[in-house]
């Protein structure tokens, strides 16, 4: 009986200056796995060499502008999306659909080191600071 279970990790952050923390989402790589399955990651690139590297490193889906339409049509459902720099402008139609999953440089999901990004997002854990200003 194998059912996917979501495990929550609660952290209490000492806020010495009593500042409010704005809403954000990030991913952290922990040394010990909390689940047995890896996250599904989609890679946006139009370079055939980069696409090959992404597939060899375990990307669930790889594509360029064609992948954008498949996501809008709900044909692709993954946990994380990563993108190479030269195609980021073609992803703007996805911004409203993906919302917090939309690739951002600040989050580490935009770059040129595809194997490194895939490793982080396949085995990493996402954490969120929500409206109540509490990370979990």
pLDDT at 136: 44
Note whether residue 29 is domain-resident. Answer: no
Confidence of residue 9 (pLDDT cuts 50, 70, 90): low
Domain CATH code at residue 94: 3.40.50.790
pLDDT at 51: 95
pLDDT at 49: 96
- Cα-Cα-Cα-Cα dihedral sign, residues 12, 15, 20, 24: negative
Note whether residue 63 is domain-resident. Answer: yes
- Contact, 82 vs 41, CB < 8 A? yes
Q: How many domains does the chain contain in total? A: 1
Per the prediction, the chain carries an average pLDDT of 82
| 98: helix, strand or coil | helix
Q: What is the pTM of this model?
A: 0.77
Note whether residue 26 is domain-resident. Answer: no
Confidence of residue 1 (pLDDT cuts 50, 70, 90): very low
- The answer on pLDDT for 71 being more than 70 is yes
Note whether residue 81 is domain-resident. Answer: yes
Note whether residue 76 is domain-resident. Answer: yes
Note whether residue 67 is domain-resident. Answer: yes
Domain limits for position 61? 38-129
Note whether residue 110 is domain-resident. Answer: yes
pLDDT at 125: 78
Q: What is the CA radius of gyration of the chain?
A: 16
CA separation for the pair 53, 66 (Å, rounded): 19
H or E element: which one contains 61?
A: strand 61-63
H or E element: which one contains 68?
A: helix 65-72
For 79-88, the pLDDT digits (tens) are 999 999 889 8
Mean pLDDT computed over 92-117: 91
Mean pLDDT computed over 18-24: 68
pLDDT at 2: 39
- The answer on pLDDT for 67 being more than 60 is yes
- Contact, 37 vs 79, CB < 8 A? no
Note whether residue 27 is domain-resident. Answer: no
CA separation for the pair 63, 131 (Å, rounded): 34
């Amino acid at each position: 009986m194998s059912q996917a279970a979501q495990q929550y990790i609660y952290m209490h952050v000492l806020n010495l200056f009593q500042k409010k923390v704005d809403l954000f989402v990030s991913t952290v790589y922990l040394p010990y796995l909390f689940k047995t399955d890896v996250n599904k990651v989609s890679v946006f690139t139009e370079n055939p060499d980069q696409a090959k590297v992404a597939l060899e490193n375990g990307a669930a889906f790889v594509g360029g502008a064609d992948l954008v339409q498949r996501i809008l049509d709900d044909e692709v459902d993954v946990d994380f999306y990563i993108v190479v720099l030269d195609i980021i402008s073609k992803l703007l139609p996805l911004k409203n659909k993906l919302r917090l999953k939309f690739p951002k440089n600040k989050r580490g999901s935009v770059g040129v080191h595809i194997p490194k990004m895939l490793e982080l997002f396949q085995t990493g854990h996402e954490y969120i600071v929500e409206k109540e200003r509490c990370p979990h």
